[in-house]
Amino acid sequence: MNYLCSVVVVGDRFDSPMVEARDYFGGELDPGSLVVGPIAQYSYRGGSCALQLTPDRLDLRVNSPTARSTELIEAAKVLAGRLDDLRHTVVVSGVGFNCDWNMPVVGGGTAFCQGLVSQAELRKALDPAVTPDAFLSFRYRCDELAYTVKLEPHQQSQGQSLFVAVNGHQTAQPKPIGDHLAAYSDFAEQAGAIYDRLGSQT
């Protein structure tokens, strides 16, 4: 399983001319990419990979299980090198990793999430007649990354499965942007452990 679906760089003064679209994902650029001023959306390999750019965000993404995490990291390294070359004209404030997945759970995702809510101390403070939305978010820090983990019923399955999203991000330091990507191995380890632990409980 891929424990990475996107790498995000946040900052300021990003624009479309700063990226060479064919430098990513083997240059297999789809026709019909959108470029409007500083905003760009590039699609690769029939939509299985993408690069999205706005003035304050760069988002490299894989949308297909056949696209590997290693390809995404390689594309991110190319982008990081470009940003390092432009460090005098752009601002980079943070780098983040994201992954998400759906997993089957006994009793369904809605019941699983509501069961977690009912066990929380916060539930005791709510009106007993209130049924809160079955959405949970947890935050913690481990090594260089600050993590946010979100659990909720999977909407497309009408709550029959569980949707899990993991984000790990770090504030940019005065070092090459590419060095921040080394934290991916820690992110993949954390995401894999979350997947395994949730699976063992369901």
Sort 39 into a burial class: Cβ within 10 Å, 0-12 / 13-18 / 19+. Answer: middle
Residue 191's contacts (CB-CB under 8 Å, 6 or more residues apart) are 3, 4, 99, 166, 168
pTM summary value: 0.86
Q: What is the pLDDT of residue 120?
A: 57
89: left (phi over 0), alpha (psi -120 to 50) or beta: alpha
The single-letter DSSP state of residue 67 is S
Sort 25 into a burial class: Cβ within 10 Å, 0-12 / 13-18 / 19+. Answer: buried
Distance between CA atoms of 97 and 168, rounded to whole angstroms? 5
In the chain the first and final C-alpha atoms are separated, in Å, by: 18
Q: What is the pLDDT of residue 147?
A: 95
Distance between CA atoms of 134 and 88, rounded to whole angstroms? 45
Q: What is the pLDDT of residue 54?
A: 95
Q: What is the pLDDT of residue 174?
A: 81
Q: What is the pLDDT of residue 195?
A: 87
- From first to last of the 202 residues of the chain, give the pLDDT tens digit: 667 899 999 999 998 888 889 999 999 999 988 888 889 999 999 999 999 999 999 999 998 776 788 889 999 999 999 999 998 889 999 999 999 988 887 788 888 777 776 665 556 666 666 665 667 888 999 999 999 999 888 877 777 788 899 999 999 888 888 899 999 999 999 999 988 888 766 5
Cα-based angle 192, 79, 27 (whole degrees, multiple of 5): 95
Q: Cα 3 vs. chain centroid, distance in angstroms?
A: 9
Q: What is the pLDDT of residue 93?
A: 93
Distance between CA atoms of 149 and 79, rounded to whole angstroms? 26
Distance between CA atoms of 67 and 47, rounded to whole angstroms? 11
Distance between CA atoms of 14 and 54, rounded to whole angstroms? 7
